[in-house]
Amino acid sequence: MTIYNFSAGPAVLPKEVLQQAQAEMLDWHGSGMSVMEMSHRGKEFMGIAAEAEADLRELMAIPANYKVLFLQGGASQQFAMIPMNLLRGKASADYLNTGEWSKKAISEAKKYGAVNVVATSADKNFSYVPDFSAWRCDADAAYLHFTPNETIGGVEFNWLPDAGSVPLVADMSSCILSRPIDVSKYGLIYAGAQKNIGPAGLTIVIVREDLIGEVVAGTPTMLDYKTHADNDSMYNTPPTYGIYIAGLVFKMLKRNGGIAAMEQTNIAKANLLYAAIDASNGFYNCPVAIDNRSRMNIPFTLKDAALDGAFVKQAEARGLLQLKGHRSVGGMRASIYNAMPLAGVAALVEFMNEFAANNG
Ligand code: PMP
């Protein structure tokens, strides 16, 4: 039976990448070592890291005045590092609140400065992105932070806020590499690796150089972007195996037409699943505003929540795993990141149609 893993993260990885890692596990390119065993300062690993960075720069067309940092601590650590590094003497930062991850970023930032919440979708249970005309931005804010894809709520931006000269900061944990973006429009982009990039333990930060170097007093060395920028992310031991796998994922994307091609597949997958939900005569429902439906994380409820348990159980029996929704939302959630094949979504849709017919 083919297994399809719909986990929100850590999540499915491309099979060809896992197979390559398996083939290279005991002896990387004739070195006689696994990548896990290599010194991070040896020529083999330095080459792996440099190539991973170069490939990511090429894939995302990252301008030369941006640093690419390979860090640890997850996106959650960025919730603190961003205000510590980017407040730069300013009194406050702007934050948009579109759900669970926005809220976490906001509460952490409040430890370091004032937070101005420019808009919130709390009035409709975080099911949409507030129209930009309703945002109350501060022209003197240190930066404007938003979450382009809320992993739990399944709410995704399909437009880019215009913050003027205020640096735009985006938590791209669950949408990085899923669609082309213009990096030059951002001050800082960050993402935990465990969804679209590679294994957990690696966090990628892409930051404009001029924003680096002025931290709040007392910032630990390890939480200062300058430490990592000045040392090519090798100030201390980086998450070497995670960087290696990420590098294999980047190469795979390059072989397959890059991010633009990936986006087309992602659109096809999301359309297939939303169409099934919308055609179910209310048996399934997605609570998210149509324009803000995520291509990556698709939450849906069943008409009768008493059927949730049977749905999950029967799906598992068909090899469709990890569909239970986040505990804060309930219902189901299908995460269909880059590495989820169209065939996986088709198998899910086939099961959903059958389940609805049998229980409608
Ligand atoms: N932001 C978003 C949008 C996420 O989806 C997640 C993880 N699900 C996080 C932040 C937290 O990431 P981490 O577990 O890497 O700290």
Domain boundaries, the chain: 15-256, 257-358
Q: Please state the rounded mean pLDDT for residues 121-145.
A: 97
**Mutation test of ligand 1: which of 173, 203, 204, 337 has the most ligand atoms closer than 8 Å to its C-beta?**
173
Which atom of ligand 1 is least distant from the CA of 147?
A: 3
41 annotated binding-site participant: yes
- DSSP class of 291: G
**What digits encode the pLDDT tens for the residues 186-230?**
999 999 999 999 999 999 999 999 999 999 999 999 999 999 999
Rg of the chain's alpha carbons, rounded to an integer? 21
- AA letter at 228: H
At how many degrees (to 10) do helices 342-359 and 258-278 cross?
A: 0
> How remote is the CA of residue 175 from the centroid of ligand 1, in Å?
11
Nearest of 29, 17, 37, 59 to residue 241 by alpha carbon: 37
- At 120, the amino acid letter reads T
Answer whether 151 contacts ligand 1 (Cβ < 6 A): yes
173 lines ligand 1 (CB under 6 A): yes
Query: Over the stretch 258-271, which tens digit does the pLDDT of each residue have?
Result: 999 999 999 999 99
Say if residue 101 carries a ligand binding annotation.
yes
Q: In this model, does residue 327 exceed pLDDT 90?
A: no
For residues 358 and 352, give the distance between their C-alpha atoms in angstroms, rounded to a whole number.
10
Please, which pLDDT band fits residue 360 given cuts at 50, 70 and 90? confident
219 annotated to bind ligand = no
Nearest to 86 by CA among 63, 105, 103, 62: 105
Ligand 1 pocket check for 9: Cβ under 6 Å: yes
Percentage of residues of the chain with pLDDT beyond 90:
98
Q: Dihedral of the CA atoms 106, 111, 117, 122 (nearest 10)?
A: 40
In words, the CATH class of domain 15-256 is alpha beta
Considering the chain, what percentage of its residues have pLDDT values greater than 70? 100
Rounded to whole angstroms, the Cα distance separating 79 from 101 reads 10
| Ligand 1, atom 4: closest residue by C-alpha | 173
Q: Is 187 in the pocket of ligand 1 (CB under 6 A)?
A: no
CA of 197 to the centre of ligand 1 (A): 13
Per annotation, catalytic residue among 101, 103, 224, 269: 101
Tokens 């990592």, residue?
A: 228
pLDDT tens, residue by residue, 81-112: 999 999 999 999 999 999 999 999 999 999 99
- Cβ neighbours of 116 (radius 10 Å): 17
- Judge whether 287 and 301 are in contact, CB under 8 Å: yes
CA distance 208 to 216: 18
Tens of pLDDT along 142-196? Answer: 999 999 999 999 999 999 999 999 999 999 999 999 999 999 999 999 999 999 9
Phi, psi angle pair for 156, to nearest 5°: -125, 140
Q: Does domain 257-358 have CATH number 3.40.50.300?
A: no
Residue 328: is its pLDDT beyond 90? no
Which 8-state DSSP code applies to residue 133? Answer: G
**What is the predicted ipTM?**
0.99
Average pLDDT (301-326) is 97
Q: Does the pLDDT at position 66 exceed 90?
A: yes
Report cis status (omega within 30 of 0) of the bond before 63.
no
**pLDDT category, 329, cuts 50, 70, 90?**
confident
User: Are the C-beta atoms of 315 and 323 separated by less than 8 Å?
Assistant: yes
Q: Do domains 15-256 and 257-358 have the same CATH topology?
A: no
The Cα–Cα gap between 146 and 170 comes to 5
Residue with tokens 């059958």: 354
Average pLDDT value for residue range 61-76: 98
> How far apart are the C-alpha atoms of 74 and 201, rounded to whole Å?
7
Query: ∠ at Cα 307 (302, 312), nearest 5°?
Result: 90
Q: Which pLDDT tens digit goes with each residue over 283-295?
A: 999 999 999 999 9
Tell me, using a 6 A CB cutoff, whether residue 76 lines ligand 1: yes
User: What's the gap in Å between 173 CA and the centre of ligand 1?
Assistant: 6
The answer to whether 195 and 9 have CB atoms below 8 angstroms apart is yes
If you measure from the C-alpha of residue 43 to the centroid of ligand 1, how many angstroms do you get, rounded to a whole number? 32
Residue 355 alpha carbon to ligand 1 centre in Å: 32
In one letter, which amino acid is 58? E
Instruction: For residue 119, list its beta bridge partners.
Output: 96
Contact 296, 151 (CB under 8 A): yes
The β-bridge partners of 144 are 94, 168
Euclidean distance between CA atoms 274 and 239, whole angstroms: 37
Q: Using an 8 Å Cβ cutoff, are 320 and 311 in contact?
A: no
Averaged confidence pLDDT in the chain: 97
Active-site residue 195, yes or no? Answer: yes
Q: Classify 213 as helix, strand or coil.
A: coil
Question: Is 158 annotated among the ligand-binding residues?
Answer: no
